Each structure stands twice: as C-alpha cells, then as structure tokens.
Amino acid sequence: MQTEQLILQRLDAIQNQLAELEHRQRAFDELFEELTPVAREAIATAIVKLDMLDKKGHFAFLAEVAEVGRRVVEGFTPADVRQLADAIVPMLDVVRALTRPEILQIASDAAASLRDGDHVKPLGAFRALRATRDDDVQKGLGLLIDVLRRVGHGINAAGAADTKALDQKAKLGELLGPRRHRMLPAPAPKATAAPGPRSEPSVSAEPVDPAAWTRDVAQALAHEHGITLDAPRWALIDAARADFAITKASPNIQRLTAVAKVTTKDLYQLFPKAPARTIAKIAGLPKPAGCL
Amino acid sequence: MDTQRKVAIICSKGGLDEVYPALILANAARQSGIEALIFFTFWGLDAVTEKRIDHLHVNLAGNASSGMPTMIGGLPGMEAFAAHMMKKSMSELELPTVREMLKILVDSGAELYGCELAMKMFRRTRDELVPQVKDVITAGDFFDLADGAQIIFT
C-alpha cells in the first residue's frame, strides 16, 4: 500500500517537471521567432560593412602589415634589434644634421637645379674640364670626393669588421674541431705520379752524395765530362764548395766570378760547357738554381 | 752529347721589358751549354746602340698587364718613370743592366749581330753600336748563321 502511494507521488513529480520543460521550450521558440528577423538584419549589415572595408582595402592592408611583421621577426635576430637600438642615436644625429636650415637650403637649391634641368646646356669632355675652373664647381667636386672618401673608408672598415667576425668563427671552428667531415673516412693518400720520360739535361741534375765526395770522386766526374782538373780548375771547385758551405746554395756564374775572382770569359774557357752546372756537378753540389 | 744544341734569338723590340727576355734566354742557353746568337733588328737595335742602351724605356700605353690605364700610361714621363721603377726592382734582384748583360753574354761565348736593313732605316752607323756587336748582317746571313739552331722571335 505504502509502495503504491510512493510510486504515484513520484509520477506526479515527473509530470510536473515535464510540464515545466514544455513551458520553457515554448518560450524559447517564441523568442527565436521574434529574434530571427533582427539577427538576420544585423548579420546582413555586418556583411555589408565588412564588404565595404574589404573594398576599401583595409583587409589587404592588414594582411600586408601582418606580412611585414612576419618578415621583421623572421629577418632580424635579437642581436640585430639590439644593434638597431645602439644605432638609433647616431641615426637621429644624422636626421638632425640633415634638417639644419642651411643644409635644407643647399638641398633645395640642388632640387631647383634638377627642376630646371631643361635649361642646362650639354657639356662635352673639354667643356667639362673647363667647367672645373669654376670655384663653385671645384668646391662641389671637393665635397663629392670627400663624401666618396668617407663612404669608401666606411666600406673598408665594415669589410674589416666582417673579416674579424669570420676570423672569430674560424677560431671557434678550430676549438670545436671539424663538424661535418668528422664522420667521413680519411682521404686516401695521393698516388705519387711516376716520373715521365723527360729529356736529359746536358749535365745531370743529380748531385753525388756530399758525404761520399772526395777529390778522387771529383777527378772521376771531371774525366766523365772530358775535363782534366788542374790548379785553376781545382781552385774553382774548392771555391764553389766553400761558398756552398756558407750559403747552402750552389753558386751560379755571377756568384762564381765574385767569390773565385775570375772573369766570365775565364769560366767558359776552363769549363766550356755550362760552367756553373759542371762545376757544381764535379764539386758534388746540387744544380745551381735561378736564371742568371 | 752528339749534336750541339743551338738557339738563334731575334730581338725586334727596344722596350726594357722586351730586350731583357732575349738577353736572359741567351744567357741561360750559354749556361746550359747551348750555343746562342742574338740578331738585333728594328727597335731591338736600341739595345746595342751606344746612345740608347742606358735609356731603354718600358712601354705602358696599350700594355694590358701594366695595370696603368692607357690614357695615363701615354702621358709624358710615364715611360721613364716605369723604366725607373723596373730598373730599381731589377737592381734589387741583382740583375745586371743591359750593358752588363751584353758583356756577360759575349764573355760567355754568345754572338750578337745587328740588322743591316734596320741600320740603314735608322741611319745608324757601325760606330754607333756597342763594341760587343760582332757584325752587321743581312737576314740571309742570319739564316746561314742560324743553321741547325732553334729560332726564337721576341
């Protein structure tokens, strides 16, 4: 009995809630019906407004502004911005210097000259040269050259700064070691080219082993060249060896005439064929280097 | 060595930079045991003419390697200046002067000849040439002397 009553009570409550929901639903529907025309109008107006803005180019402008912002962010590093901050004072100085009344007057005069360009007579090379005699033209040329000099100086200085940065980078690279090539295998050693056939010079370039050189070896070498070593020839051989000991270079003919106190003519008489080379060869020295 | 190598050098220009190669080549040939003769013709005669030998110039105008614009290289005095600079750097290298080179060449056994036709053209006499010149010869004589030689034209 008690249970039935409880169930009935619950059903009553549910029915009441449903009625309440239905009422709210109806109220919403009415509201929508009333609001729809207003909303439609508002949206239509908004579209018209936006369309107008678009036609005036505001959106394109905004898009461009966004693009500029993006480029600024992409193209500049924080370091650049810091530099800009440092540079702002000199930049303002430049602007101040440019806006001084006398400077503006000069610029205005120059502009007037450009404006009246039609009346200027064409100048040939000679007339241009003659025009440089004019004091004002000279002053202007001087100024131009000065500007050029300063610009050039600036370019050089900037170049030097760049090189400095590169140097620093190279130094850093040295400290860190090679990056990309670290994993690559070491390059194979270059094969030494086999000596090709070449014409034999009149006197062989290969010196005898200096340690193995004796006066007997010299006699034998001289004999090979069809020369008999006598006192004046021995003097030259000794002079060449003595000079080599000092200079570490085989003496050429000029040098031999100086150290051995002989004339060129004598040298060619004593050693008719390639004197300096033959003397070096017999003395166990390398072939003399140089053109003379 | 069975055959004796031999070079015949024709020096046809009188610029300092045009004479030296001929002289140095001839000298290098002698030092290498190669016979050498030089035939001086046209402006090359200046290199063996007593009055001119110490005043050979370097031609700057039209010389692309000089680094000097032709307009400036052609100005009066520029050739003398360039010759002066070149002589200075040559003396730093202890390179003998043209006059000294001629003496060295003759002492080394090289032979120097003047061109007969060029002598007539420039109205130059044998007395005006330096004593190192062995003879004044014709082109035909030159070919006779250069028999078997390698010929180099500068």
% helix, strand, coil for chain B, step of 5 = 50, 20, 35
Please name the residue of chain B whose CA is at the shortest distance from the CA of residue A268: B108
Give the number of beta-carbon pairs within 8 Å between A and B.
43
Measured CA to CA, the distance from residue B136 to residue B40 in angstroms comes to: 9
Across the interface, of A253, A273, A291, the residue whose CB is closest to B33 is A273
Q: What is the pLDDT of residue A76?
A: 73
d(CA A76, CA A156): 24
Taking the Cβ of residue A273 and every Cβ of chain B, the question of whether any pair is shorter than 8 Å is answered with yes
Domains contained in chain B, CATH given: 6-59+96-153 (3.40.1260.10)
Residue of chain A minimizing CA distance to B101? A292
Q: Best of B107, B108, B132 to disrupt the A interface by mutation (most A CBs within 10 Å)?
A: B107
In the predicted model, is pLDDT for residue A208 greater than 70?
no
ipTM tops the 0.85 cut: no
pLDDT digits (tens, 9 = 90+) for B101-132: 999 999 999 999 999 999 999 999 999 999 99
Provide the token pair at A7.
């169930």
**Does residue A110 register a pLDDT over 90?**
no
CA distances from B135 to B111, B124, B132, B145 (A): 9, 14, 9, 12
Q: Average of pLDDT values for A80-90?
A: 81
Q: How far apart are CA B154 and CA B14, in angstroms?
A: 10
Q: CA nearest A201 in B: which residue?
A: B32
Binned average pLDDT, 10 residues per bin, chain B of 154 residues: 85 93 94 95 94 88 79 82 89 90 94 95 94 95 94 93
Closest partner residue to A264 (CB to CB) among B5, B32, B107 is B107
Is B31 within 8 Å of A268 when comparing Cβ atoms? no
Please say whether the beta carbons of A270 and A279 come within 8 A: no
